[in-house]
């Protein structure tokens, strides 16, 4: 599988057997022009990992333009299947790249962040080219949509250290997340989107939410410990957020900041189906329901959650467990400023 990009490129198979399963490096011809005066990284220090579906429409044009600007300063690898971006990110770290750029949507960012965090290298930065369908993490980073500015950011010297979360379950499974973690109905929405074709972004998430409300509408009794405060209550949905939004634009934590050292959470308990459907456009418009005893918000740095019933979980919009999976008890902990990202700080963002 390959992505066609503008300009003159030579394809070459990557050196390892692991990469031969699907990654290809594409190196610009020596006469390819570089048209930005920005301060770029030295040759060979950037590895750009792209989801092939990112090469569509306007997003594809941005990607091709960024590749053209970066020229031989970046190697370009293409993923072949789900999970491959994480494997390639680990490989890029071991080969000495100082920045690994995720070219795609939130799923690509999630995989590459997991690869980098598992390698535990504080000197390797994550770069983000928001050329997917949702791009919620890029929105929280306040990244521009301009190819020239994106190329300058991912190859420039400015680094923002952001918080990450780690979820671990009773079976030993664990995943890092950089944007949001969702339980119960929130997880079931993502589960349903995996079975929908021909929709993208906000429309996909909205349709997944409707299907989840119809098929998985239950609120299991859960014990949740927010830091040192423990509560026992029904949980229809629970979102634990580092970033502000999910699902291509649903604003679940408008006060969240990626580097403030806190999770922001949104919890819903006993809400009717009609009420849940009403909340969808409210969240899409950035309005968290107020004065509703069934909805609570707060902040914490650690969670523990257990329940007798199984429920779905997503991490950054990727399925962690399905609606019938028993994974409790679970722990969620925040790792402050654990991931260096090529992005402006809050007071520098445009």
Q: Is residue 86 part of a domain?
A: yes
Mean of the pLDDT values across residues 296-322?
Answer: 94
CB-count exposure of residue 288 (10 Å: 0-12, 13-18, 19+): middle
- In this predicted structure, the answer to whether residue 346 has a pLDDT above a threshold of 70 is yes
Q: Is residue 49 part of a domain?
A: yes
Domain endpoint, select from 124, 157, 190: 157
Q: What does each C-alpha distance from 209 to 180, 202, 227, 234 come to in angstroms?
A: 16, 10, 29, 19
Better-predicted residue by pLDDT, 205 or 213:
213
Task: Give, to the nearest 10 degrees, the angle between helix 201-215 and helix 273-284.
Answer: 170
Please tell me whether residues 36 and 137 are part of one structural domain: yes
Looking at residue 298, the DSSP 8-state letter turns out to be E
CB-count exposure of residue 168 (10 Å: 0-12, 13-18, 19+): middle
- In this predicted structure, the answer to whether residue 16 has a pLDDT above a threshold of 80 is no
CB-count exposure of residue 345 (10 Å: 0-12, 13-18, 19+): middle
Per-residue pLDDT tens over the stretch 63-114: 899 999 999 899 999 999 999 999 999 999 999 999 999 999 999 999 999 9
Question: For residues 124 and 340, is the Cβ–Cβ distance under 8 A?
Answer: yes
Please tell me whether residues 52 and 153 are part of one structural domain: yes
The pLDDT-based confidence of 306 (bands split at 50, 70, 90) is: very high
Give residue 293's pLDDT.
85
User: Rounded distance, CA 259 to CA 280, Å?
Assistant: 27
**Sign of the C-alpha dihedral computed for residues 330, 336, 337 and 338 taken in this order:** negative
User: Rounded distance, CA 228 to CA 230, Å?
Assistant: 6
Please tell me whether residues 32 and 105 are part of one structural domain: yes
**What's the chain's Rg over C-alpha atoms?**
20
CB atoms within 10 A of CB 54: 24
Give residue 102's pLDDT.
97
Query: Which of helix, strand or coil describes residue 269?
Result: coil
Please tell me whether residues 204 and 225 are part of one structural domain: yes
Q: What is the CATH number of the domain that holds 183?
A: 2.60.200.40
- Per the prediction, the chain carries an average pLDDT of 83
What is the pTM (predicted TM-score) of this model? 0.84
Please tell me whether residues 311 and 192 are part of one structural domain: yes
Please tell me whether residues 195 and 287 are part of one structural domain: yes
Best CA proximity match to 65, nearest among 182, 125, 2, 154: 154
Give residue 213's pLDDT.
86
Question: For residues 294 and 270, is the Cβ–Cβ distance under 8 A?
Answer: yes
The pLDDT-based confidence of 203 (bands split at 50, 70, 90) is: confident
- In this predicted structure, the answer to whether residue 19 has a pLDDT above a threshold of 70 is no
What's the distance, CA 4 to chain centroid?
A: 25
- In this predicted structure, the answer to whether residue 28 has a pLDDT above a threshold of 70 is no
Structural domain including 174 reads 166-336
Give residue 278's pLDDT.
80
Please tell me whether residues 150 and 199 are part of one structural domain: no
Please tell me whether residues 186 and 61 are part of one structural domain: no
Phi, psi (deg, nearest 5) at residue 297: -125, 160
Share of the chain above pLDDT 70, in %: 84
* Number of domains within the chain: 2
């Amino acid at each position: 599988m390959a992505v066609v990009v503008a300009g003159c490129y030579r394809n070459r198979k990557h050196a390892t057997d692991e990469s031969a399963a699907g990654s290809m490096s594409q190196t610009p011809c020596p006469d390819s022009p570089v048209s930005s005066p920005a301060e770029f990284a030295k040759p060979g220090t950037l590895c750009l990992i792209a989801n092939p579906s990112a090469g569509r429409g306007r997003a594809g044009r941005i990607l091709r333009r960024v590749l053209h600007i970066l020229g031989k300063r970046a190697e370009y690898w293409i993923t072949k299947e789900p999970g491959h971006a994480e494997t390639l990110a680990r490989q890029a770290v071991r080969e000495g790249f100082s920045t690994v750029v995720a070219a795609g949507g939130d799923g690509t960012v999630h995989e590459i962040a997991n690869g980098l965090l598992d390698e535990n290298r504080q000197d390797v930065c994550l770069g983000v080219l928001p050329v997917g369908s949702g791009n919620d993490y890029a929105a929280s980073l306040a990244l521009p949509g301009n190819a020239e500015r994106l190329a300058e950011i991912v190859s420039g010297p400015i680094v923002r250290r952001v918080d990450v979360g780690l979820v671990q379950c009773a079976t030993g499974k664990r995943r890092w997340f950089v944007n949001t973690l969702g339980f119960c109905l929130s997880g079931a929405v993502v589960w349903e989107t995996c079975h929908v074709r021909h929709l993208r972004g906000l429309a996909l998430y909205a349709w997944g939410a409707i299907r989840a409300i119809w098929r998985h509408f239950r609120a299991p009794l859960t014990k949740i410990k927010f830091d040192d405060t423990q509560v026992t209550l029904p949980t229809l949905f629970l979102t634990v957020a580092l970033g502000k939004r999910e699902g291509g634009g649903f604003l679940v934590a408008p006060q969240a900041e990626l580097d403030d050292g806190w999770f922001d959470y949104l919890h819903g308990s006993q809400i009717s189906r009609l009420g849940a459907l009403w909340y969808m456009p409210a969240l899409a418009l950035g309005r968290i329901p107020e004065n509703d005893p069934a909805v609570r918000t707060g902040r914490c740095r650690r969670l523990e959650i257990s329940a007798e019933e199984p429920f779905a979980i997503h991490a950054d919009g990727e399925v962690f467990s399905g609606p019938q999976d028993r994974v409790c008890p679970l722990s969620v902990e925040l790792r402050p400023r654990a991931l260096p990202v090529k992005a402006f700080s809050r007071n520098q963002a445009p």
